[in-house]
Amino acid sequence: MNLDQNSTPLFDAVKKYVDDKVIPFHVPGHKQGAGLREFAAYIGDRILQMDANGMDDLDYANNPSGVILEAEKLMADAYGAGNAFFLVNGTTSGVQAMILEACKPGSKILIPRNAHKSTIGGIILSGAIPCYIQPQINKELGIAMGVTLSSVKEAIKKNPDAEALFLINPTYYGAASDLKALVRTAHANGIKVLVDEAHGAHMPFHEDFPLTAMEADADMSAVSLHKTAGSMTQSSALLTNKRIDSEHVRQVLNLTYTSSASYILMCSLDIARKQLATRGNEMLSKALRLARAAREEINKIEGLYAFGRELIGTPGCFDFDETKLGINVRKLGYTGYQMERKLREGYNIQVEMADLYNVLALVTLGDSESNLDALVSALKDIARKTYVREIKNNTIIPVNPDLIVPPREAFYSPKRSVGLDESVGEISGEMIMAYPPGIPVIGLGERITREIIDYIKILKSEKCQLQGASDPNVEYIKVIK
């Protein structure tokens, strides 16, 4: 069946609801903005008129049979998937649904250590047991890359009873693993493949991007359309192939899915999908051109290195997404955190994230030449005013700590608070992660080591945003009694 990707069934239905001037005796209580005038005065009446609730003509997100279902079928078609499910709680809800669908309590799941914190939530909810795979580390850049085929084969050999393999495609910084080979190997061993494509929602719509999960025959993937594909923040999609039971997926989603899904967010998914399917190649060609030109100019600046496709073939990098404009600032004498603050405070530019040695700027279908010119000009100006003093490379990414207590058990175990320095050898009762990117430094149920404590102190000294700990200053950490 050929679907018309120019159509937007959900958006059309919501527009008709607004145009019909329906008198609302239903939630939300602001009644199309009349009860929230200060907000309406700033954002406009129309968006609040679209803030509707489930009804026959607008369909029901939890069990769609009308326009939402039509919109989801169009999404699946655009992404080459068997089924698609709209998400209004970000890709976090998709990641957790994938784990809940594939794993039951006690199931083993193979996961790269640089997976997002949402995977830990999925593991706690499902009762699965994580078996971590160490991603490759680029020590020059100080970042984690993808996983290799050999490391996955070794993990399967150690855990032949694993139910699922969880992969990231691509990483926050743009590195992609050899997805097709990884999927083939997992399937040959009876293991489902779940893919976090939070940063790859744009990739199916241009030939210059890495292979996607659906193209590689993965079982499920979660895509953040809001991050790189144009929809509104919090809106994403869960994709599955035809082998996965769609009814079971819907049941899993409904365990945590709101019964009041935002029509504004879902409409943005409907329109973003149409735009990608009909104009994605053209828009992404422009984004790639801008990213490539900026990368070339930045690499002319002494002390800066905007990394890209030259990383392909290095450990953990089978392919690369060029719209991830990662800039290593170590040789200019700054940490990534310092550069992030300089760009924001001195030039009104906000990058996506920073770490010890890098800043990351995302170039998307919404960028313009003037945006990239402003970034390049700011970096040139900072470099011109800087006496180059290379920071010594002290890349410290702790190896995977030992998992002593399953995360679900650790979550429910009684805990006590101890000083960070006194926690060596204890079993962690909480997660600590730098956010972004949300990768755990220490996870629930893991043994705390001196190396981990030292790494946390480095992150604290650089005023990195640490999350997960009960103590916001991370002077104390909760451990299992």
Residue 257 lies in a domain: no
Both tokens of residue 199? 């940063």
**Across 315-319, 380-384, 389-393, least confident range:** 389-393
Give the CATH number of the domain where residue 453 resides: 3.90.100.10
**Across 126-135, 232-241, 273-282, least confident range:** 126-135
Task: Tell me what the mean pLDDT of segment 262-282 comes to.
Answer: 98
213, 194 contact by CB (below 8 A): no
Same domain as 374, residue 325: yes
Residue 393 lies in a domain: no
Q: How many CA atoms lie within 13 A of 274 on its CB side?
A: 16
Mean pLDDT estimate for the chain: 94
Residue 343 lies in a domain: yes
At 436 the pLDDT is 54
> What does the DSSP 8-state code read for residue 427?
B
Distance CA(168)–CA(219), nearest Å, equals: 14
Burial grade of 181 (CB within 10 A; 0-12, 13-18, 19 or more): middle
Distance CA(170)–CA(147), nearest Å, equals: 11
Task: Tell me what the mean pLDDT of segment 344-368 comes to.
Answer: 96
Burial grade of 41 (CB within 10 A; 0-12, 13-18, 19 or more): exposed
Same domain as 377, residue 452: no
pLDDT tens digits for 289-318? 999 999 999 999 999 999 999 999 999 999
Distance CA(449)–CA(428), nearest Å, equals: 10
For 117: left if phi > 0, alpha if psi spans -120 to 50, otherwise beta; the answer is alpha
Same domain as 377, residue 297: yes
Residue 255 lies in a domain: no
Q: Which residue has the tokens 């926690």?
A: 423
Both tokens of residue 100? 């809940």
The closest of 318, 76, 324 to 179, measured between CA atoms, is 318
Which distant-in-sequence residues (6+ apart) come within 8 Å of 144 by Cβ? 112, 113, 114, 135, 136, 137, 138, 171, 316, 397, 439
CA angle centred on 309, ends 303 and 310, rounded to 5°: 65
Same domain as 456, residue 369: no
Query: Residue 437: which pLDDT band, with cuts at 50, 70 and 90?
Result: low
Distance CA(128)–CA(81), nearest Å, equals: 26
99, 91 contact by CB (below 8 A): no
Same domain as 428, residue 380: no
Distance CA(91)–CA(461), nearest Å, equals: 31
At 395 the pLDDT is 65
* Cis omega (within 30 of 0) for bond into 160: no
Q: For the chain, what's the residue count?
A: 481
Same domain as 411, residue 380: no
Same domain as 413, residue 342: no
- What is the number of domains present in the chain? 2
**271 in helix, strand or coil?**
helix
Distance CA(223)–CA(54), nearest Å, equals: 24
Same domain as 364, residue 424: no
Query: Residue 433: which pLDDT band, with cuts at 50, 70 and 90?
Result: confident
Give the CATH number of the domain where residue 323 resides: 3.90.1150.150
Sheet containing strand 432-434, strands side by side: 439-442, 432-434, 466-467
At 401 the pLDDT is 87
Q: Read off φ and ψ for residue 395, nearest 5 degrees.
A: -55, 115
Distance CA(108)–CA(160), nearest Å, equals: 9
Distance CA(268)–CA(10), nearest Å, equals: 10
131, 108 contact by CB (below 8 A): yes
Burial grade of 451 (CB within 10 A; 0-12, 13-18, 19 or more): middle
Residue 264 lies in a domain: no
Burial grade of 204 (CB within 10 A; 0-12, 13-18, 19 or more): buried
Same domain as 413, residue 380: no
Both tokens of residue 107? 């199931």
Same domain as 451, residue 363: no
Q: How many CB atoms lie within 10 A of CB 159?
A: 17
Q: Read off φ and ψ for residue 28, nearest 5 degrees.
A: -80, 155
Whether the pLDDT of residue 287 is over 90: the answer is yes
At 455 the pLDDT is 86
pLDDT tens digits for 159-215? 999 999 999 999 999 999 999 999 999 999 999 999 999 999 999 999 999 999 999
Task: Tell me what the mean pLDDT of segment 417-427 comes to.
Answer: 95
Rg (C-alpha) for the chain, rounded Å, is 23
Task: Tell me what the mean pLDDT of segment 242-246 comes to.
Answer: 95
Same domain as 423, residue 376: no
Same domain as 413, residue 338: no
Residue 323 lies in a domain: yes
Which range of residues forms the domain containing residue 455? Answer: 407-480
Q: Which of 369, 384, 399 is the last residue of a domain?
A: 384
> What does the DSSP 8-state code read for residue 41?
H
